[in-house]
Amino acid sequence: SSTTPPANKAPKNVCQVLPFISKQPKEDKLALVVVDGMNFWQSQMLVNSLKNKYFDINAQTDVIYSWLPSVTELSRQAIFLGRYPSVSYQQSSSSESKMWEDFWLSKGFINRNQILYEHGSTIALSDIYKRVAWVTVDLDEKMHASDDFRYLHAATKLWVEEEDLLNNIGDLLQQGFKVYITTDHGNIETKPSRLLSQPEKVGSLSLSKRHVTLAPQASRVLFEQDHRGEVLQIDPASCTYYPTSNHCFSNIPMNVTHGGTHFFEVLIPFITITKE
C-alpha cells in the first residue's frame, strides 16, 4: 500500500518513506540516509557503532518492506519518488537528486537552496539546509564482493567504524537534524541453481541473479515445466519468477546478492536517530 502512515508510526514500505518524513513538522531539519544493500543485521551493527561514538543519541529501529524485485533500480527509485516505481526508469544519482528536490518542492519548499542531495563518501553541509539526502554505496560494493556472510560480516565490522560514515551522521545530528536511516534492499547468501539461456533480466545483469523476467517471445509454459519446483511467482499476471529458497540463477559456487523474495532481502531497517 502507498497510503501514508501517521507521523508517529513508521512507514510500511519504501514507497511510504518520503510521505512519512513529510508528515514531520515543516520547521524540523530532516535527513534521509540510504545505505545501499544493507541487511537488517548490518543495520544493528551500525546502530551499535553510532551509540559507541555518540553517547547522547536515541535510535529506534523499525522494519519495513523493500520493493519486489528487491533491486536498486526499483526499490531506491520508490524511496525517492514516494510512490510506486516505473520499470522503465534508468538508475542514476542525478535522477535521484531531481526526485528528492521535486518531492520537497511539491510540499511547499519554495527555496531550492534548502534541499540537498549527496551521493558518495562525504556530505557538504551548511546552515541553510533543511532537507538532506545522502546515498552511500560502499556497503553494497562490499556485499557484492563477498562470497558468503562470513566475509561480509568481517567487511561490515570494518565499515561501521569508518570515520566518514560516522562523522557524516554525527555532523547531521550536531546541526540539529532528525536522521532517518534505511536501505533499498537487503542481501542473501546464495547457492547456484542453474544458468538461464533465454530470459531477459530485470535489474542488474551482472550482480542480481535472484529473479528473472521472461522475454515476450519466451514460453511461460515451457519455462515453468523446465523449472518446476525451483521457481515461484508473486504476481501470476507478470512474467517475473524468483528462485525458491536461497538459490540463484548462477553457476558461481557461493555469492552474496539480492533481487529475490527472501526475508533477508525484503525486510529492511528503518532507523530514526535523534539527539537526547
Residues 244-260 have a mean pLDDT of 84
Crossing angle for the helix pair 149-159 and 40-53, to the nearest 10 degrees: 30
Same domain, 155 and 245: no
Same domain, 126 and 226: no
Same domain, 183 and 240: no
pLDDT, tens digit (0-9, with 9 covering 90-100), for 184-232: 999 999 987 766 654 444 443 445 688 888 877 778 888 888 888 888 8
More reliable by pLDDT, 250 or 187: 187
Same domain, 183 and 193: no
Mean pLDDT of the chain: 89
pLDDT band at 6 (very low <50, low <70, confident <90, very high): low
Range of the domain at 232: 189-255
Same domain, 239 and 160: no
* Confidence at residue 251, expressed as pLDDT on a 0 to 100 scale: 74
pLDDT, tens digit (0-9, with 9 covering 90-100), for 33-53: 999 999 999 999 999 999 999
Residues 235-241 have a mean pLDDT of 85
Same domain, 229 and 112: no
Is 2 within a domain? no
The CA-atom distances, in angstroms, between 233 and each of 220, 224, 242 are 12, 10, 6
| Residues near 255 by beta carbon (within 8 Å), at least 6 away in sequence | 144, 146, 147, 148, 189, 190, 248
pLDDT at 120 over 80: yes
pLDDT, tens digit (0-9, with 9 covering 90-100), for 130-162: 999 999 999 999 999 999 999 999 999 999 999
Same domain, 235 and 121: no
Q: How many domains does the chain have?
A: 2
Query: Cα separation of 191 and 66, whole Å?
Result: 22
Residue 148 has φ and ψ, to the nearest 5°, of -155, 180
Is 7 within a domain? no
* Confidence at residue 193, expressed as pLDDT on a 0 to 100 scale: 75
* Confidence at residue 201, expressed as pLDDT on a 0 to 100 scale: 45
Q: Is 259 exposed, middle or buried (0-12, 13-18, 19+ CB in 10 A)?
A: buried
Residues 48-74 have a mean pLDDT of 95
Q: pTM of the full predicted structure?
A: 0.91
Same domain, 141 and 228: no
Is 1 within a domain? no
Neighbours of 230 (CB within 10 A): 16
Q: Name beta bridge partners: 65.
A: 13, 267
For residues 42-53, one letter each, b for 16 or more C-beta atoms within 10 angstroms of the residue's C-beta and e for the rest, the string is bbebbbebbeee
The percent of residues above 70 in pLDDT, for the chain, comes to: 92
Same domain, 46 and 105: yes
The CA-atom distances, in angstroms, between 120 and each of 116, 147, 178, 180, 187 are 13, 25, 20, 17, 21
Query: In a 3-state reduction of DSSP, which class is residue 192?
Result: strand
Residues 20-40 have a mean pLDDT of 95
Closest by alpha carbon to 265, among 108, 42, 97?
42
Q: Which residue has the cell 547531521?
A: 172
Is 199 within a domain? yes
Same domain, 37 and 173: yes
